[in-house]
Structures are given as structure tokens and as C-alpha cells.
Structure 1
């Protein structure tokens, strides 16, 4: 479906046969990019093309003045500065793959993005962050669900253990299959993760589980009858008859995993947050275990490099957004001011 939409938009975007040919090649090679990147690109193409058509502008190639006006339009309609930066980046990506000079290289666009960021920061915009799902939260749910007769709760508990233990993204967890489970000499589970958002290589990634997480995952596999189904998704659907749906064509969707976190939030006794973070985070969400595990590691004194390795982050600044508040009170100046003479 995405390819049909993209090919249809290619025909509408340009009358230049050379540019159209390069764009069609780009669509044919879409597997070079993650599905999330491709979805975002199609979304940006639709929004920007509509804006250009309604305002009598040229979308491809786009002039620096038109891109400036488009980015200002996004700000005026309430988009976050991070969203605007994503639009600018993907428009640049589209131009490069069409063999065109991206308008983003112009000083006009550089100043516009700088102004948008400055106005956003001065106006009080802050980066949103998922509510952390910490080790204490996992242990509380473990005490509530470990002996449950409901297969769905056994799956949910195993999923939360693996999500926290591995720091994997929801999309990466959803792809795990029973055949990806092996065992270390001491009996603990080793997960063979084929690839992640930041690690795409034939060697893949290996993730080890703790003793308790191993136990909970094995309890789920046994209760669901998954051991004899190596091709089944590790976290498969559970039918209302309390039986696992082992043969599924595709993994559970992101909203389904979000529902697991939402159910865990309610089970833990939390109510809906009165003040939403960025209008999104009123409870635990798909990123919460990743954020919480990173914060717990930082609080226990693990080095940034170790946390980055566990979470497969490539840039320290990405991780620092998650752990920025954890040890703020232990900064050098606080230490200096509070030392006894």
C-alpha cells in the first residue's frame, strides 16, 4: 500500500521525466530504510504537497523561500520544533534521492529553523518524555501477576520483564520469535535480536536475561504452549478463550503493546495523570521501560557508555535526554557548594 501511495505521489509531484525516474527508483529501494522512516516520509510528502498546491508553490524542486514559508506554516499551526525539524530533514532526503539540491542548505532555511527553535524554547516548549517504568514498578507487577491464571497477564508480565531487561524498542520486541530464545550455560535465556533501529548487521544483537526475567518468560512459553512452535512470535495474541494464537501472520501492533503498558499502569493503582506531558504521556507507554531502565542504570552509577550499549543509542545526547534529571543534584557545583570547610 505504501508503495502504491508513493508511486501515485511521484506522478503528481513532477513532470520532469528524469526526476520522476529517480523517485521511482527511490520507491523501489524503500527497504533500505526503516518502515517508520518510510511512513514519516509519506506523511510529510502528503502534508507538504497539499500546502504547496493550496499556496501555488512548487514542491519539487522546492525553493529555499518556499521551504522557509512552509516551516513557518508548521509552527503557526502548532507543530513542535522537533516535528518541524523532522519535516525539514525528510524534505531534504526526498530532494537528495531525486538528484536535486536540498533547499535546506540555504542560509534562509538555516535562520528559519534557528528562529523556530529559539521561539519554541523561549516560549516554554520542552521535549516530551515517556513516564519511566522503573525496576520497582516491575517488581510490584511481578508480585501481582506472577501467579495469575489469566494467560494474557502471564504474557504481559513476561513482556514487561523482557522490555525492561533488554531496553529494546517495542518494534524490536514485537519481532522476536520463539526460535530466537537460546540458553546460556547457567540456564539464563539469551535472545538473538536480528536487528534494531541503530544496529543493522548480519551478526545481529545478543541480549541476556536475568534469572527472574528468564523464569517469567519460560512460564509464559510453557503456559502458552509455544515451545513446539519455533516460528511463532514470542509475544503473540491471546484469545478471549485464554488460549495463545500461535500462528499469526504479523506481530502484535504497537497499539497492542501500548495497551499492555496502560493495563499495567491501572493495575499498579495509578490514575490518569492530571497534567499530560506534551499532551501524550498520561501513563506508561511503549517507551517507558526503556526510559526507566536507563534512569535506573544511571542512578546506580553505571557509565554513560554502558547505558548506551545496553540501549543501542548512537548519540550520547539522545540518552542524556532520558537521564538528565536523575543525578542533577550531584553536579560538580552542588558538590563544591556543600563541601564542609
Structure 2
């Protein structure tokens, strides 16, 4: 629990996170806040000081969290504790051999493979597009699903697209610039190209949506477009609803997530004979290891 001096000097540690706005993604800041709140609450419950914390307190917290969280989430909570101490200019308790040993213990205690989203490969995509209703929601969702697959987007990249980020080309395809992503926090951007089908679907959506909306894919309220971008959670919901509407069984639907478009497109590129470098460039990957997990389930199709 905060002692009297700390409470006086730092009455609202949450306010310090406003300093991160513009330097970090909103989702990252939100995660930091949530993780620090968990730590502070845990310290209050156990009668321990959270700010500044002792290394022993942090180690005990991490080991307790390991019971309910995967190792990557435990590590993220450590980073959040580190960040709040630095923002408050307090002694940082998150470095040292005891912390390193605790993290290794957490990692070794759960030797499990990361859960991989089921890829929405071309066959699944075509089923989903065919199952969309003939109304404004179906028009938008067909364009989103097809374009997200073609551009290998993360869901955050897909909802961040704006009208000015796309341009129709003379050959009937579409050119898009993905200005900022998880692997590109400083907005260098990457250029991607769509199929003719996606270009046609996006054109049909834009003709209905009109030209006074900033987000490429916006919300729809009472049958009318609203000038508001969709949230990342909405992308996951649209994907799951699409595969359910396509008639897939519930256990298969459960495997799809907001990453499924990206995973499925990468798997299809591998099966089509593209090498790792080409796939990494198309999807903006920086890590071969991450891409390798996406491609594992496609390899048996390549060599079958």
C-alpha cells in the first residue's frame, strides 16, 4: 500500500500515463494502465507497497500471476510496472538477478505452444463472402474481409485505413498504404496491392457509404454510415459471424480470430510458392519466428 509520503507526492499515478500519448499506441497505453492497476490492487490486498515497490514484491506478484496468465502476459505486466516507476521517477525494482530468475521460472513452468488462430484461407474466404447478406452491413463486411485478406492486415491496420489511403489503379486493382502498424510504430508505412475482386467490392462499398466519411470502413447506425472507425474487437466479431453464417461447425468457428485473415493469406502465399522474404514484405513482418508459427499448418499442404 502507498505510504503517506508516496501518496502525497504521487496522488494519481494514472495521470502520468498521459505523457505517453502520441508516443505509444492507445492499446499499449491501455494495457499498461490495466496491468499497473492489477499490481496496485494485489499490493493493497497483501499489505505491500506498490510505489515504489521492492524487487521481492514484484517477484511475488509475477509468480502469482503466472498461475492465471501465460508467460508473455506475465512479462507484459513486468514491463508495465517498470514503466510506471520510470514515469514517476522512482527507483526501478524490475531489474536484477531475482527478476530474471523469476521470469525463467515462469517460462519453464508453462511449456506450452502459443495458441494459433485458424487461418481464413481462400476457400474459407469465398464461403464467407458468399454468406454475407445483401444489405449495407453485408456490403461493408464483404469489402473488409476481401481487402484484409489481400493486404495481410492486422485488425488494427484494417480499421485504421482511411479513404485517402487507397487509390484505384488502371488495371482494376487497388493500391493501399498502411501507414502505421504494430511493427512500424513510427509510421514509415508499407505499400500493398489488392485483387480486382477486392477493388470492386471496396468501390461498391464506397459508392453506398459516400465521400464525407473519413475511415475507410465505418460504423452503420439505423442503415446509415456514421463518421466513426470500427474498433478492433468489431473485426474479430465480423470474422466469427462470417464463418458461422457460412455454415462452419461451432468448434471450427471458435478457432477463428481477428488475425485469421492475415494468417490465412500468409498460408496461401506459401502454398502458391512464394518464399519467406516475399511473404514478410507483403505482411510487414519483422520476425521470421512469428511468421513461422503462422505458416506451420500450411506446410503439409505444400508438401502433400
Scaled by the length of structure 2, the TM-score of the pair is 0.87
Q: Which runs of 5+ in 1 are unaligned?
A: 1-9, 275-280, 332-341
In the TM superposition, what whole-angstrom CA distance separates every residue of 1:83-110 from its partner, at most 9, and x where no partner exists?
Answer: 1121112222333333345333211111
Aligned with 1:237: secondary structure? strand
Aligned residues: 302
Is this contact kept in 1: 2:33–2:80, CA < 8 A? no
User: Which residue is equivalent to 1:43?
Assistant: 34
Rounded to whole Å, the distance in 2 between the matches of 1:159 and 1:99 is: 44
User: Which residue is equivalent to 2:195?
Assistant: 210
Is this contact kept in 1: 2:271–2:302, CA < 8 A? no
Instruction: Detail structure 1 runs of 4+ shifted over 4 Å in the superposition.
Output: 10-13, 19-26, 328-331
1:304 aligns with 2:276: yes
Deviates more, 1:84-93 or 1:151-160: 84-93
User: Which residue is equivalent to 2:247?
Assistant: 269
Is this contact kept in 2: 1:23–1:98, CA < 8 A? no
Aligned with 1:14: secondary structure? helix
Rounded to whole Å, the distance in 2 between the matches of 1:20 and 1:219 is: 53
1:14 aligns with 2:6: yes
User: Which residue is equivalent to 1:55?
Assistant: 46
Rounded to whole Å, the distance in 1 between the matches of 2:272 and 2:90 is: 49
In the TM superposition, what whole-angstrom CA distance separates every residue of 1:168-202 from its partner, at most 9, and x where no partner exists?
Answer: 12222112222322123323211233322222445
Rounded to whole Å, the distance in 2 between the matches of 1:196 and 1:107 is: 34
User: Which residue is equivalent to 1:142?
Assistant: 129
User: Which residue is equivalent to 1:94?
Assistant: 84
Rounded to whole Å, the distance in 1 between the matches of 2:134 and 2:4 is: 56
Q: Which runs of 5+ in 2 are unaligned?
A: none
Is this contact kept in 2: 1:23–1:97, CA < 8 A? no
Scaled by the length of structure 1, the TM-score of the pair is 0.79
RMSD of aligned Cα (Å): 2.9
Is this contact kept in 2: 1:236–1:244, CA < 8 A? no
Aligned residue among 98, 122, 145 for 1:108: 98
Give the drift of 1:126: 2.8
